[in-house]
Structure 1
């Protein structure tokens, strides 16, 4: 009887471990429960302010969500040359100025433009995330400064155009 108990116990342990690893929840929901709920929401809100600042031509949202010491570098795809132009740098002031005019005509984005936020990690003072937007992909580092989440680093790239 003891011989049968050990395999049964091992089987039960294996099933318990396996069932805890499998979940039907979307990845964002799993992460939201893993992290501090309030900080998770505030990190998401900071990134939403960033993208909506550009989409909605509202530089005040950039000023609200982006640290004054922003370090932003990127890689823009030049469709004529079919290659990337790299290491394009931007300061907080340049980003704020860009937000005030980037979509002023209303033709760069519409209600169907991408605005997908993925949050990878939220700690007590730091966070990391990804945004897929009309211009491409932004990867973020955020810091909690004076009890407010601010974007401090962005590295981005545009998507190559397909023919």
Structure 2
């Protein structure tokens, strides 16, 4: 009962007892802390530019451009569609070097007139940011870190879209 009351107070203050002198203050703090903060447009543009280096570099087959935007300890992962029987909660793992090599081989190289990609910055907090990148082939959720003023991809969770069925 007490835990439920405290949870309600933390969420919106609706369960505060009548006449509680601190009710208004606690309620406004709970509402203010849950309100989304506006993202700094300058930072959003910088994170977007970094995400476009990542996706456009792959579409151009520009391994150097992709390598520059990736942290040396990049963790790129995908949930396996067919689990490995020897692994619980199986992941497809890809290193920075593997991604750069695939880019060098032209794995996603696409003529510019066929590019269909988007980047959306989802959140920024200090030196951390999250963005969503989408192409016809994949969706990536990218975690960025800002190092000496430069945004670099530290982690990526990707979803490979199903290949279209040819008729």
Scaled to the shorter chain, the TM-score interval is 0.5 to 0.7
**Which structure carries more strand by proportion?**
1
Q: Which runs of 4+ in 1 moved over 3 A?
A: 83-86
* Cα distance between partner residues in 2 of 1:126 and 1:70: 15
Instruction: Give runs of aligned pairs for residues 58-77 of structure 1, distance below 5 A.
Output: 58-75=62-79
Query: Aligned in 2, Cα 1:133/1:75: closer, same or farther, shift over 3 Å?
Result: farther
TM-score, scaled to structure 2: 0.65
Higher relative contact order (CA 8 A, sep 6+): 1
* Cα distance between partner residues in 2 of 1:131 and 1:156: 9
SS of 1:111's equivalent?
helix
> What is the aligned-residue RMSD (CA, Å)?
2.6
Ranges in structure 2 where 5+ consecutive residues have no aligned partner: 1-35, 85-89
* Cα distance between partner residues in 2 of 1:119 and 1:103: 25
Q: Count matched residues.
A: 125
Ranges in structure 1 where 5+ consecutive residues have no aligned partner: 1-30, 78-82
Q: Is 1:124 aligned to residue 129 of structure 2?
A: no
What residue number does 1:34 align with? Answer: 38
TM-score, scaled to structure 1: 0.67
